[in-house]
């Protein structure tokens, strides 16, 4: 199998324990230089702009939780699966709260204990990731 993943040193890239690489970013900032995603999940309260790569939109208002928890789990599992061989991007407006929460959920899928996933993402992605108490609780209960 050939892979076309991020480089570990690319901006915003989080290495999961399995070695999967996922990029988090804020959509209010310019697209980083280098390769484009092959698949993305956009966590926004309203429809994202069209991009030239495959993406899924999860309705997820700022500082809140996903509108549809079952769909969120399905979409995040797909992103985790695709990160084996593709450039997966997870993004919201600022790249911290919703993005950090989704990255922590991917870490849970990757084997990080749910009660340690927020700390993992804050250490290895952004120290301000996962902004609200309910986002932390969502991660602790994700896929459990």
The pTM score is 0.96
Q: What does the pLDDT read at residue 2?
A: 45
Q: What does the pLDDT read at residue 4?
A: 85
In this structure, what CATH number is given to the domain that contains residue 78? Answer: 3.90.190.10
Q: Give a yes or no: residue 5 inside a domain.
A: no
Q: Give a yes or no: residue 135 inside a domain.
A: yes
Q: What does the pLDDT read at residue 122?
A: 98
The Cα–Cα gap between 79 and 85 comes to: 11
Give the domain range for residue 82: 13-141
Q: Give a yes or no: residue 2 inside a domain.
A: no
The Cα–Cα gap between 63 and 55 comes to: 22
Residue ranges of the chain with pLDDT lower than 50? Answer: 1-2
Q: Which of 15, 53, 4, 10 is nearest to 34 (CA)?
A: 10
Q: Give a yes or no: residue 65 inside a domain.
A: yes
Q: What does the pLDDT read at residue 3?
A: 63
The Cα–Cα gap between 106 and 22 comes to: 9
Q: In this prediction, what percent of the chain has a pLDDT beyond 90?
A: 92
Q: Give a yes or no: residue 3 inside a domain.
A: no
């Amino acid at each position: 199998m050939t892979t076309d993943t991020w480089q570990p040193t690319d901006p915003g890239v989080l290495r999961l324990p399995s070695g999967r690489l996922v990029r988090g970013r804020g959509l209010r900032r310019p697209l980083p230089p280098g390769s484009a995603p092959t698949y993305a999940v956009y966590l926004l309260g309203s429809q994202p702009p069209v991009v030239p790569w495959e993406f899924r939109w999860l309705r997820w208002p700022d500082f809140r939780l996903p509108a549809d928890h079952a769909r969120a789990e399905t979409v995040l599992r797909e992103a985790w699966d695709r990160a084996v061989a593709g450039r997966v991007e997870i993004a919201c407006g600022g790249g911290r709260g919703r993005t950090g929460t989704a990255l922590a959920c991917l870490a849970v899928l990757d084997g990080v204990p749910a009660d340690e996933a927020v700390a993992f993402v804050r250490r290895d992605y952004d120290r301000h990731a996962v902004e609200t108490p309910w986002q932390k609780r969502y991660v602790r209960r994700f896929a459990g």
